[in-house]
Structure 1
Amino acid sequence: MPIEQYLDVVLLLLVSAAAINDLATRRIPNLLLLAGLSSAFILYCLSVAPGTSLLSALGGMATGLGLFLPFYIMRGMAAGDVKMMMTIGAFSGPDEALEIAILSWCIGGVMALAMVLWRGRLWLALRNIKQILYGVLTPGVDAAAVAPQTSAGAIPYGLAMAIGTIIVLLDHHG
């Protein structure tokens, strides 16, 4: 079996374990992500072109980090979610990391909307969005200082990233 298939299997196991843990505990363990990163780098070192593979992994990590870090800074996402996207990027490379991130945002948005509607917190969510946008778009205003004090609720974003990853892998192999 080529290294790419091993990478896909390990990635599927990783995102599945992370999603289950996120659903159960609302956390994505650092040890799980470290094991995933280690596995990816070991497999890349065993590939036909380790230099190119490792560069792709680093590019994917940078893509995942660059796309999700701003949401963490604005307090819209937990650090574990950012680290998970970075780890997914290590497995997938920059192009697929971008695809997975976009799908994850869409899936996460649907999950968040369903959650605030279910809990009757739509107006609080809209007020929080307005407050965040004001802090980000108004010159001279510290975005962190005007961050919402009351959350409309959190979602297990690890599940959204797992679903996005699975969709991209199925699309590329199906």
Structure 2
Amino acid sequence: MAYFAYPQLKLGRTCSKKVQQSKFMYVKDEFTINELSEATQVEPRNIRFYIQQGVMPGPVGAGRAARYSKKHAEILRNINRWKRAGFSLERIKTLIHEDAPVDIEIRPAKLGVAEPYARVYLADGLEVHIDSARTELNSEMINKLIKSINQNYRDLSTEAKKQSSKKSR
């Protein structure tokens, strides 16, 4: 049973009623490696590898007594996001240690790799492609974005028609 639906993982917030009923809440201060793994969808062996490579700090304690913090979960979330964006592990390590917000330029889709996405038609010749696995926007935010784009398009289209009619006079 997964405790969180990744990538909607948000620190200090619950994702659904099912999450609220689970025994594990992200508002906890400490996690075992298995809890951290389940919450972030990162295998324990990968968590250990990231620690070994110096990408993220180690836990407090050792062995079965090892405990991970919310900061570890945040780092793993960023690692996953940056990996999807095509960053190398060395670059990710640098980004984490810089501790600064990073704007990510999403890489183009790979040839021959099927990736599901939503295709929203706004007007003739205008569409938006949304890959929910690569964005941190929830469905409500995506709807707001689409409405905003649609409104801007209508405004610009009206302006273009006015300019076109002025030129033809």
Q: Which bin holds the TM-score, normalised by the shorter protein?
A: under 0.3
Structure having the higher Rg: 2
- TM-score w.r.t. the length of structure 2 is 0.27
Query: Normalising by the residue count of structure 1, what TM-score does the alignment of the two structures yield?
Result: 0.26
**Structure (1 or 2) with the greater strand fraction:** 2
Larger RCO (CA within 8 A; separation ≥ 6): 1
The structure with the greater share of residues assigned to helix is: 1
